């Protein structure tokens, strides 16, 4: 293991100064083509590569992007945010960044705990996926780091965000059910403070009203703790216990849809004949479960990619512009929905 060449070695061998070599390597400044060439030649000959730490120390950049996820989302290894994360990994490489992942609890107190990469000045920008404590966001903001939110937004503060077109997705879902003749369409949701869930719920409501359908409150379950499979099971149970007789259910996400299916099956109800179900997210399992779930496809990897592009843009930009991107959604019709057999109004 002999000594790795340093920029010094390159400069010496090329008969130039350190700064000129640095300029060439970083593709900056006005260097004459000839000089550039000869530096590149020496770089190749010595197979020189700059050391990240040294660059970092001198330039106060790390070459890393921090990815922050709530503990719950991570420990559940939830397929939704995992996909977004993998999307960022993919795109980061294109921009010569690495992603540093960390999780945070619901509480945030800078006195108690701050993500290590923030303390160590080890990231140049931050991507936050899903709902996190707003104090954390403003803390990062005060550090002067570019922030991009994914599947989350804050009304008051202005931050770049990559969002799902939840309104359109939910509208598509409900219109699909309406078109199949359903009227008694229940909504099943939870974690209603999450902007995505709120939007889905409101669009559901709005679409029904626009179609002249007005249902009792018992057709809406919005207060589940978690938008998980268990939450879905529990919500479906309460739905029927409340006396509602839906012919279709729009679930806030696929996990809850799966929970609903589980409960309905246990009740002896057939899907979609007795109750049709539409989910949201199009997580992988949805196309494997029985019946395959009709859902709204969300381009999760794509969201991660866009987030990286935004944060890289912000890092390179001098002025901080806020960009909000709504990623399109698509209705995927599978087996869990079918036309209403007989109108039973």
Partner DNA sequence: GTGAAAGCGCTAACAT
Partner DNA sequence: ATGTTAGCGCTTTCAC
Tell me if 83 contacts a copy of itself by CB under 8 A.
yes
| Among DNA, a copy of itself, none, residue 2 binds (CB under 5-8 Å by kind) | none
Give me the phi and psi of 155, to 5 degrees please: -60, -55
| Residue from 36, 95, 121, 194 in contact with a copy of itself (CB under 8 A) | 121
At residue 47, the 3 state secondary structure works out as coil
Residue 202 to residue 343: CA distance in whole angstroms: 26
Tell me if 38 contacts a copy of itself by CB under 8 A.
no
Residue 104 to residue 196: CA distance in whole angstroms: 20
Give the nearer residue to a copy of itself in terms of CB position, either 150 or 208. 150
Tell me if 76 contacts a copy of itself by CB under 8 A.
no
CA atoms within 13 A on the CB side of 245: 3
Radius of gyration (C-alpha) of the chain in whole angstroms? 26
In which element (H, E) is residue 38 found?
helix 33-46
- Min dist CB 47 to DNA, Å, is 12
Tell me if 19 contacts DNA by CB under 7 A.
yes
Tell me if 51 contacts DNA by CB under 7 A.
yes
Burial (CB count within 10 angstroms: exposed 0-12, middle 13-18, buried 19+), residue 342: exposed
| Among DNA, a copy of itself, none, residue 206 binds (CB under 5-8 Å by kind) | none
Q: How many residues make up the chain in this entry?
A: 345
Residue 82 to residue 104: CA distance in whole angstroms: 15
| Among a copy of itself, DNA, none, residue 105 binds (CB under 5-8 Å by kind) | none
- Among candidates 314, 322, 312, which has minimal Cα distance to 63? 312
| Among DNA, a copy of itself, none, residue 129 binds (CB under 5-8 Å by kind) | none
Give the nearer residue to a copy of itself in terms of CB position, either 20 or 88. 88
Tell me if 100 contacts a copy of itself by CB under 8 A.
yes
| Residue from 290, 317, 324, 339 in contact with a copy of itself (CB under 8 A) | 290
Q: At what angle do helices 166-179 and 195-210 cross, to 10 degrees?
A: 40
Residue 146 to residue 137: CA distance in whole angstroms: 11
Output the six-digit token pair for 265: 């099956």
Tell me if 316 contacts DNA by CB under 7 A.
no
Contacts with DNA, residue ranges (CB under 7 A): 4, 6-8, 15-20, 22-23, 25-26, 28-32, 34-36, 48-51, 54-55, 57-60
Contacts with a copy of itself, residue ranges (CB under 8 A): 1, 4, 49-57, 60, 62-64, 74, 77, 79, 82-83, 86, 89-90, 93, 96, 98-103, 116-117, 119-122, 142-144, 258, 284-285, 288-290, 301
């Amino acid at each position: 293991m002999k000594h790795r060449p340093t920029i010094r070695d390159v400069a010496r061998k090329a008969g130039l100064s350190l700064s000129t070599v640095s300029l060439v390597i970083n593709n900056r400044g006005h260097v004459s083509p000839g000089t550039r060439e000869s530096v590149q030649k020496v770089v190749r000959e010595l197979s020189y590569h700059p050391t990240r730490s040294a660059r970092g120390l001198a330039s106060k950049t790390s070459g890393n992007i921090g990815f922050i996820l709530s503990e719950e989302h991570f420990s559940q290894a939830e397929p939704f945010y995992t996909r977004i994360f993998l999307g960022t990994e993919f795109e980061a490489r294109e921009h010569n960044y690495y992603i540093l992942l960390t999780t945070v609890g619901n509480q945030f107190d800078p006195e108690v705990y701050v993500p290590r990469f923030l303390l160590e000045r080890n990231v140049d920008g931050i991507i936050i996926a899903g709902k996190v404590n707003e104090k954390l966001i403003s803390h990062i903001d005060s550090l002067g780091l570019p922030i991009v939110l994914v599947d989350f937004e804050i009304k008051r503060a202005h931050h770049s965000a990559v969002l799902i077109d939840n309104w359109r997705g939910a509208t598509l879902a409900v219109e699909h059910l309406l078109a199949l003749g359903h009227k008694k369409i229940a909504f099943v949701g939870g974690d209603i403070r999450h902007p995505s869930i709120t939007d889905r719920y409101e669009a559901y409501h709005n679409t029904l009203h626009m179609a002249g359908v007005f249902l009792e409150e018992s057709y809406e379950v919005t207060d589940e703790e978690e938008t998980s499979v268990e939450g879905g099971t529990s919500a479906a149970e309460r739905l029927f216990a409340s006396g509602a007789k839906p012919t279709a259910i729009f679930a806030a996400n696929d996990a809850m849809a799966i929970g609903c299916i589980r409960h309905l099956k246990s009740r002896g109800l057939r899907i979609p004949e007795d109750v049709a179900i539409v989910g949201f997210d199009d997580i992988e399992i949805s196309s494997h479960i029985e019946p395959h779930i009709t859902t709204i496809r969300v381009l999760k990897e794509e969201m991660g990619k866009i987030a990286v592009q935004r944060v890289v843009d912000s890092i390179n930009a001098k002025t901080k512009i806020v960009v909000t991107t709504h990623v399109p959604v698509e209705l995927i019709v599978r087996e869990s929905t079918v036309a209403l057999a007989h109108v039973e109004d």
